């Protein structure tokens, strides 16, 4: 089943960012022609802090362009919102959102096989990127976070390729439900137990197990707000 077509592919270079000692490649730029994609993402794409960005479980970030309509309404005119790339995405489409995909979905795109690995956990770099002190929290509350792919089979991606749903193993877990459990009902034990039965990426498994064990929600403040002088863990 065709879900959407790639409208833009984007890559970024890591450069010094807004806070002392910080770096970011959030300012993605469109790239032309077929682009090689490997286990850690698109050729030519970089991350500013490899401790918390990139890697096999965050190889590609997909952010729907229709979400930009919401942010224009919220923020008013911003040059950042005139074209894809504002949120650090690698893949931009229309017609495919968090409600249309489930955790673990496998998608075919040309000769590349992708798996929906996790939703984005917004971080403080969005605050600085947009000049809005609570932008990361706004994104989290909106549920318009986008998602990450793991690359199961490398190959090449290009604009215009169709994203085809090849396998759906967990239809009870659309990404909207995942984010509801993560952020709106974070201590709902029945949902956490069900979520724990899924093949979660390691950091999510740790998160779920700690919530179940401690009956408490992890501190979000460092991720959402950051500290002045050091890189902070981010989604």
- CATH number for the domain including 15? 2.40.33.20
Q: What angle do CA 17, 21, 26 make, to 5 degrees?
A: 30
Is the residue at 123 inside a domain? yes
Is position 29 within any domain?
A: yes
Instruction: Give the domain extent around 92.
Output: 2-225
Does any domain span residue 233?
A: no
Do the domain assignments include residue 231?
no
- Whether 165 maps to a domain, the answer reads yes
Beta partners for residue 119, in sequence order? 147
- With b meaning 16 or more CB within 10 Å and e meaning fewer, what string describes 101-122? bbbbbbbbbbebbbbbbbbbbb
Helix (H) or strand (E) holding 135: helix 135-142
- H or E element that contains 189: helix 189-196
Number of structural domains the chain divides into: 1
Considering the domain boundaries, does residue 196 fall inside one? Answer: yes
Q: Give pLDDT tens digits along the chain (235 positions).
A: 999 999 999 999 999 999 999 999 999 999 988 999 999 999 999 986 656 667 899 999 999 999 999 999 999 999 999 999 999 999 999 999 999 999 999 999 999 999 999 999 999 999 999 999 999 999 999 999 999 999 999 999 999 999 999 999 999 999 999 999 999 999 999 999 999 999 999 999 999 999 999 999 999 999 999 864 333 333 4
Residue 103 maps to a domain:
yes
């Amino acid at each position: 089943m065709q879900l959407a077509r790639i409208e833009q592919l984007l890559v970024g270079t890591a450069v010094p960012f807004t806070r002392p000692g910080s770096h970011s490649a959030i300012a993605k730029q469109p790239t032309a022609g077929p682009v090689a994609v490997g286990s850690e993402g698109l050729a030519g794409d970089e991350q500013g802090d490899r401790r918390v960005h990139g890697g096999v479980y965050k190889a590609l970030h997909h952010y729907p362009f229709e979400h930009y309509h919401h942010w224009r309404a919220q923020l008013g005119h911003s040059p950042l919102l005139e074209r894809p790339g504002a949120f650090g995405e690698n893949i931009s489409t229309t017609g495919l959102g968090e409600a249309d995909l489930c955790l673990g979905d496998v998608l075919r795109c040309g000769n590349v096989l992708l798996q929906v690995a996790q939703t984005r956990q917004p971080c403080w770099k969005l605050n600085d990127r947009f000049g809005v002190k609570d932008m990361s929290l706004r994104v989290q509350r909106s549920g318009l976070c986008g998602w990450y792919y793991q690359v199961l089979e490398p190959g090449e991606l290009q604009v215009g390729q169709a994203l085809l749903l090849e396998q759906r193993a967990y239809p009870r877990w659309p990404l909207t439900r995942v984010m509801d459990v993560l952020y709106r009902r974070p201590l709902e034990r029945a949902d956490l137990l069900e979520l724990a039965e899924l093949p979660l990426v390691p950091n999510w498994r740790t998160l779920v197990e700690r919530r179940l064990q401690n009956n408490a929600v992890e501190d979000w403040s460092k991720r959402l707000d950051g500290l002045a002088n050091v890189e902070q863990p981010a989604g």
